[in-house]
Amino acid sequence: MQPHTPDRDQLSISLPRGLTRLGLSAKLLVLTVLFVMVAEVLIYLPSVANFRRNWLNDRLAAAQIAVLVLEGSPQEGLPEGSENRLLTGVGARAIAARVGGARRLLSLDSMPPAAVSRTVDLRSMGWARSIREALETMVLPPAPMPIRVIGEAVGGADFVELVIDEAPLRYAMLKFSTNLLLISLVISGLTAVAVYVALNWMIVGPIRQLAANVMEFEIDPENPHRIIEPTRRADEIGEAQRALARMQITLADELRAKKHLAELGLAVSKINHDLRNMLAAAQLMSDRLTETRDAKIKRFAPRLIATLGRAIEFCEATLVYGRAAEATPVLKDVSLRQLVAEQAEMLGLAETAPVNFNNDVPHDMVAPCDPDQIARVLLNLMRNSVQALTQAQAELEGRPVLAVRAERDNGSVILRVADNGPGVPERARANLFQAFRGSVTPGGTGLGLAIAAELVRLHGGTIALEPSESGAVFKVTLPGRRAAAV
């Protein structure tokens, strides 16, 4: 059973609707605004706390000036109404300072308020506490009673404190927050637009072009005008464009080649179908030649019939290769020596043949395999060797030799089909086991090696051309146990 792969529609359904409706540019804009606002919030908290601290410090500074005025006044005191004007200018109900151990007091009332809602000591206030109290001042309603503020003093005073109402402080903080919010919105908007435009120009736009090109290429991959034209960018997007262009060019070439091979295979199949019928008719007529009394005709008739039989088998193999995949092997314990001998007999490799054949497979060599399929593998490999040896017989030193050997190695069965012929041309090695591209003989189609490689792979084995000083040596490795052959 093959794993289920969801298509694009199913993948889009599994995502949240809000995200699927937004494009990449819109998501980028939303995230940019969100991150800028988060940054503004992180800036706002210390800003409003610092504003509150500065506002209170300003009142303390004004209160200390009032204390200095009070110290410099004549002993009979300030003129009537001056203390009230000082307190009103500071915005406090009472001001107190300790100078040289003596406590000085200015108050609107004859008795300063003894009860306050809370005390704010700026001398030992950290940032965490300052932020917390600033938020409490803004969120909570103003306290009905005033607050006492204590701060550092300058000059000869030890400290200065004042009693003020909290409502003016809260109003100032709310006004500051409103202004800061407006400024933050403007800055956030401008920043978001700037970041959006920059990222859209540098990243989102090129990615959108890549996606559009991929979708256009998907519609017609064989059209060369659908291949992307890479830019000169040196970053990752430029590398992606160039990689996509290389992939599209390779894929388009492969598709055109496969289409050409498919059309060629269809034509070859049709030709082979008719040729097989003609060869079958010729074989039927040639069977009558065995009944003649002419000794020469009787001697050549079996070879003619065998040749016609091999031609029919080749036509059928071509049709099978182009029509459907090979069947799953039916494994049996097969005597490899006997199987090799049968193929040699089919090829006419007798003692009087021009090619000296050596069956070096041990008598007790048994392998689990499909006898029909491995017979086809051996027949294709041995036929190629016989053809190569026959064509190069005049150039060989000594008699042509074809040998088939077998051995066991680490639980595997290894078959070697070796000859002392001219070997495999260098130009044919790259596509040796590909149909119509890996022929080792002039005028061949390469179907024999392609079929052999497919059958060996179905057995869970491998086939390769081994390096050799002379001739060609094909190595076939098969699993030595049935459990390994799937």
- pLDDT of 42: 80
- pLDDT of 355: 83
- pLDDT of 13: 38
Collapse the DSSP code of 335 into the 3-class scheme (helix H, G, I; strand E, B; otherwise coil) and give the result.
strand
Distance CA 330, CA 485 (A): 10
- pLDDT of 319: 58
Nearest to 459 by CA among 373, 362, 348: 373
438 and 470 fall within a common domain: yes
- pLDDT of 135: 84
407: pLDDT strictly greater than 90: yes
344 and 357 fall within a common domain: yes
Q: Of 186, 202, 234, which residue sits at a domain end?
A: 186
Residue 70 dihedral angles phi and psi, to the nearest 5°: -65, -40
349 and 377 fall within a common domain: yes
Distance CA 464, CA 456 (A): 11
Q: Is residue 212 part of a domain?
A: no
Q: Is residue 5 part of a domain?
A: no
Distance CA 465, CA 62 (A): 99
The beta strands (E) that lie in 372-484 are given as 401-409, 412-419, 462-466, 473-479
Query: What DSSP character marks residue 157?
Result: E
19: pLDDT strictly greater than 50: no
Q: What is the mean pLDDT of the segment spanning 184-192?
A: 78
156 and 54 fall within a common domain: yes
Query: What DSSP character marks residue 403?
Result: E
Predicted confidence (pLDDT) per residue in 339-351, tens digit: 999 888 888 786 6
Three-state secondary structure string covering 79-90: CCCHHHHHHHHH
**Helix 82-90 crosses helix 24-71 at what angle (to 10 degrees)?**
160
76: pLDDT strictly greater than 50: no
Q: Which two tokens stand for residue 38?
A: 């988060």
- pLDDT of 1: 39
Give the rounded distance of the alpha carbon of 212 from its chain centre. 19
156 and 51 fall within a common domain: yes
Q: Which residues of 279-311 are buried (b: 16+ CB within 10 A; e: fewer)?
A: beeebeebeeeeeeeeeeeeeebeebbeebebb
**Choice between 250 and 19, residue whose per-residue pLDDT is larger:** 250
7: pLDDT strictly greater than 50: no
Predicted confidence (pLDDT) per residue in 384-395, tens digit: 888 888 877 756
Residue 61 half-sphere exposure, CB side, CA atoms within 13 Å? 6
Please check whether residue 392 is in contact with residue 421, taking contact to mean a CB–CB distance below 8 angstroms. Answer: yes
**Choice between 144 and 108, residue whose per-residue pLDDT is larger:** 144
Q: What is the mean pLDDT of the segment spanning 86-109?
A: 65
**Choice between 224 and 276, residue whose per-residue pLDDT is larger:** 224
Q: Which two tokens stand for residue 116?
A: 């306050």
- One DSSP character per residue, 284-315 reads HHHHGGGG---HHHHHHHHHHHHHHHHHHHHH
110 and 153 fall within a common domain: yes
The H-assigned helical ranges of 104-166 are 127-139
Please check whether residue 396 is in contact with residue 421, taking contact to mean a CB–CB distance below 8 angstroms. Answer: yes
Collapse the DSSP code of 218 into the 3-class scheme (helix H, G, I; strand E, B; otherwise coil) and give the result.
helix
Mean pLDDT of the chain: 75
Q: Is residue 167 part of a domain?
A: yes
**Choice between 76 and 140, residue whose per-residue pLDDT is larger:** 140
- pLDDT of 105: 64
409 and 463 fall within a common domain: yes
Q: Which two tokens stand for residue 359?
A: 């069956």
Please check whether residue 404 is in contact with residue 437, taking contact to mean a CB–CB distance below 8 angstroms. Answer: no
Distance CA 120, CA 148 (A): 6
The range of the structural domain enclosing residue 338 comes to: 327-484
Q: How far apart are the first and last CA of the chain?
A: 15
239 and 113 fall within a common domain: no
Number of domains, the chain: 3
Residue 201: band (very low, low, confident or very high) from pLDDT cuts 50, 70, 90:
confident
Q: Are strands 412-419 and 462-466 parallel, antiparallel or unpaired?
A: unpaired
Distance CA 380, CA 334 (A): 19
9: pLDDT strictly greater than 60: no
Please check whether residue 455 is in contact with residue 326, taking contact to mean a CB–CB distance below 8 angstroms. Answer: yes
Q: Is residue 291 part of a domain?
A: yes
159 and 269 fall within a common domain: no
Question: What CATH number did the domain enclosing 461 receive?
Answer: 3.30.565.10
* Percentage, residues of the chain above pLDDT 90: 11
Which range is least confidently modeled, 17-21, 142-146, 403-407, 424-428?
17-21
Q: Is residue 200 part of a domain?
A: no
Q: Of 324, 343, 373, which residue sits at a domain end?
A: 324
Q: Which residues partner with 413 through β-bridges?
A: 408, 478
Q: What is the mean pLDDT of the segment spanning 263-277?
A: 67
- pLDDT of 323: 54
46 and 171 fall within a common domain: yes
Q: Of 140, 162, 186, which residue sits at a domain end?
A: 186
Distance CA 347, CA 341 (A): 10
Q: Is residue 99 part of a domain?
A: yes
114 and 174 fall within a common domain: yes
75 and 224 fall within a common domain: no
- pLDDT of 335: 93
10: pLDDT strictly greater than 50: no
Q: What is the mean pLDDT of the segment spanning 277-304?
A: 66
Distances (CA, A) of 299 to 254, 280, 288, 417: 50, 21, 13, 30
Residue 368: band (very low, low, confident or very high) from pLDDT cuts 50, 70, 90:
very high
Predicted confidence (pLDDT) per residue in 112-148, tens digit: 555 777 788 887 788 888 888 888 888 888 777 788 8
**Choice between 429 and 282, residue whose per-residue pLDDT is larger:** 429
Q: Is residue 343 part of a domain?
A: yes
- pLDDT of 102: 60
- pLDDT of 313: 66
Q: Is residue 6 part of a domain?
A: no
- pLDDT of 49: 87
Q: Which residues partner with 402 through β-bridges?
A: 357, 419
**Choice between 307 and 454, residue whose per-residue pLDDT is larger:** 454
- pLDDT of 463: 92
